[in-house]
């Protein structure tokens, strides 16, 4: 526990708390899976997907390397991409 506590990505650093807070965005996006696609924003969800994809990549480049942050960003991408797919499918049914 002491090793984790004092590590460069441990609870004493922003590298630990930023991903913890970012999970709330992922959970909010996952909760939107129950909403009708007509009520979702394409641009907002596309931005979430792009942000998740870009930051997942950068989490492996920056130092200290933060796998926990990469994980939350990957799930942000997955949720955003899923919502974008739902919205685009809904818009196709309108045509």
Residue 5 confidence (pLDDT) above 80: no
Q: pLDDT tens, 27-46? A: 999 999 999 999 999 999 99
CB atoms within 10 A of CB 65: 13
Domain count along the chain: 1
Task: Measure CA of the first residue to CA of the last residue in the chain; give whole Å.
Answer: 57
Interior angle at CA 45, CA 40 and CA 49, nearest 5 = 155
Tell me the residue range of the domain where 74 lies: 1-94
**Furthest-apart CA atoms within the chain: distance in Å:** 59
Residue 62 confidence (pLDDT) above 90: no
Q: What is the mean pLDDT of residues 77-84?
A: 97
Interior angle at CA 70, CA 4 and CA 32, nearest 5 = 115
Q: What pTM was estimated for this model as a whole? A: 0.84
């Amino acid at each position: 526990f002491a090793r984790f506590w004092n590590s460069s990505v441990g609870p004493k650093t922003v590298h630990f708390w930023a991903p913890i807070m970012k999970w709330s965005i992922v959970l909010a996006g996952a909760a939107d899976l129950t909403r009708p696609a007509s009520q979702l924003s394409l641009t907002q969800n596309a931005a979430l997907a792009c942000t998740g994809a870009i930051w997942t990549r950068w989490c492996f480049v920056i130092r200290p390397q933060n796998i926990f942050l990469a994980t939350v960003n990957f799930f942000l991408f997955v949720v955003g991409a899923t919502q974008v797919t739902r919205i685009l499918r809904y818009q196709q049914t309108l045509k």
